[in-house]
Structure 1
Amino acid sequence: MRPVPRWALVPAGCAPVVLVGGWTTAAVLQGPSYDAVRQTISVLAAYGAAGFWVMSGALFALGVCHLATAWGLRAAAPAGRVTLAAGGVAALVVAFVPTPSSGGSLRHGSVAAVGFALLALWPLLAAVRGGRAVPWALRLGPALAATASMGGAALWFLVETDRHGAAGVAERLVTCLQSLWPLVVVVSCLHHQRARTARPRQPVR
């Protein structure tokens, strides 16, 4: 299994920070007119929003982080790395295709939906066979649980959007899970590599 470089911690760790920091700062700039419970983060990145550049910049940075993490995550299955990278590209496109100030956008919504799907699928596609010889987060069980959790949260987001309920909360849950899992995988891989290096070798008889 190819080793994961330590620098992969930087983009993986920055992803949740730039995302949460972006929507927090943009919401403060938007003021009390913004309802974080019912309104999505796309509202913060819409044309004319007070925090437009902050939220758009955060989405762009998130995409770059996912691309860099996918490049460094050499221990994962190639299909998973490609899917994570594609999710990063989707985040970049979302940053460049914001919603208009008048309301929702089919283009923006379509790209965002594709991004959600890709980032929910990549944990399962990144799983590697090998039992205990494989880092914990790349084993089938944890990977399947991660994909199921993200998929369930995304389904909740769709339900809340349709009923005009707590769509903002649901979307934040989905995006938090999807931005944190790459970090979990990288930390798992680095811990696995350190444990294997520290394991004493059996004497040759």
Structure 2
Amino acid sequence: MRRDAVARYAFVSSAAAPVLLIGGWTLAAAVQPGPSLQRDGYDSLRDTISALAGYGAAHRWIMTAALLGVGICHLVTARGLRPLALPSRVMLGVGGAATVAVAALPLPAAGTSGAHQTAATLAFACLALWPALWRHPGGAVPRPPVAVMIPATLVMVALVLLFTAALGSGVLVGLAERLAAGAQALWPLATVLLLRRPAAVTAILG
């Protein structure tokens, strides 16, 4: 295999990330207790993903393990995306490391955690922006093409801003977070597929 080709293991790691994340939040939400006189039940449209791994959650190990796995997957994928410029791969790797930190710094049973919020903010920022840095300066025709990577970055940034607005208003916070986090988990896989099949992409984009 050429040294500038995508590593085969990057396909496995990038495919595993969205499976772990979406499967994790689905399973973890399903095992939360229902509403009672003392507290409301968990609501995926209203409540955050981090709440499923917090100290107040039932079976918190499920979401903790999922977040840890997602972070490791991003780190592995970043190493395998060799055709991309180094700043892009570093940012994806930092996003992965920050996701591991999110798992390692859970929310308390009540209130917030500054360390957790810092790790989550860094993860969301890096995982939204890394596609914009993929191109080698002065290089040949970029792979994947500009028409794909820049719009992808803009969409993920917009979803993060939507999540930020939802946090401020308290409306549909869980839904907004899942849209942003889901898109960020899927894009490394999309990038690997684009790099592995450049001819098909060229034909589609003209």
Same fold (TM over 0.5): yes
| Aligned counterpart for 2:192 among listed residues 181, 186, 194 | 186
1:105: how far off?
Answer: 1.3
Name the SS of the counterpart of 1:30 in structure 2. coil
Pick closer, same or farther for the CA change 1:61–1:193 going to 2, 3 Å: farther
Q: Which residue pairs with 2:167 in the alignment?
A: 161
Contact 2:56–2:110 under 8 Å retained in 1: no
Name the SS of the counterpart of 1:2 in structure 2. coil
Contact 1:129–1:139 under 8 Å retained in 2: no
| Aligned counterpart for 2:33 among listed residues 31, 35, 39 | 31
- Counterpart amino acid of residue 20 in structure 1: I
Distance of 1:4 and 1:68 partners within structure 2: 12
Q: Which residue pairs with 2:72 in the alignment?
A: 64
Matches within 5 A, 1:44-123: 44-123=52-131
Distance of 2:131 and 2:33 partners within structure 1: 36
| Aligned counterpart for 1:8 among listed residues 10, 19, 24 | 10
Name the SS of the counterpart of 1:37 in structure 2. coil
Q: Quick check: which one's helix share is greater?
A: 1
Runs of 4+ more than 6 Å apart? 129-132
- Counterpart amino acid of residue 175 in structure 1: A
Distance of 1:145 and 1:193 partners within structure 2: 20
1:127: how far off?
Answer: 2.9
Percent identity at matched positions? 42
Contact 2:28–2:62 under 8 Å retained in 1: yes
Pick closer, same or farther for the CA change 1:76–1:193 going to 2, 3 Å: farther
1:103: how far off?
Answer: 2.4
Q: Which residue pairs with 2:204 in the alignment?
A: none
Pick closer, same or farther for the CA change 1:192–1:55 going to 2, 3 Å: same
> How many correspondences in the alignment?
194
1:58: how far off?
Answer: 0.4
Distance of 2:104 and 2:54 partners within structure 1: 10
Contact 1:9–1:186 under 8 Å retained in 2: yes
Contact 2:92–2:126 under 8 Å retained in 1: yes
Contact 1:3–1:193 under 8 Å retained in 2: no
Unaligned runs of 5+ in 1: 196-205
Contact 2:68–2:99 under 8 Å retained in 1: yes
RMSD value over aligned CA atoms?
2.1
Matches within 5 A, 1:104-143: 104-128=112-136, 133-135=141-143, 138-143=144-149
Contact 2:95–2:123 under 8 Å retained in 1: yes
- Counterpart amino acid of residue 139 in structure 1: P
TM-score under structure 1 length normalisation? 0.88
Distance of 1:51 and 1:34 partners within structure 2: 13
Pick closer, same or farther for the CA change 1:51–1:22 going to 2, 3 Å: same
Contact 2:54–2:108 under 8 Å retained in 1: yes
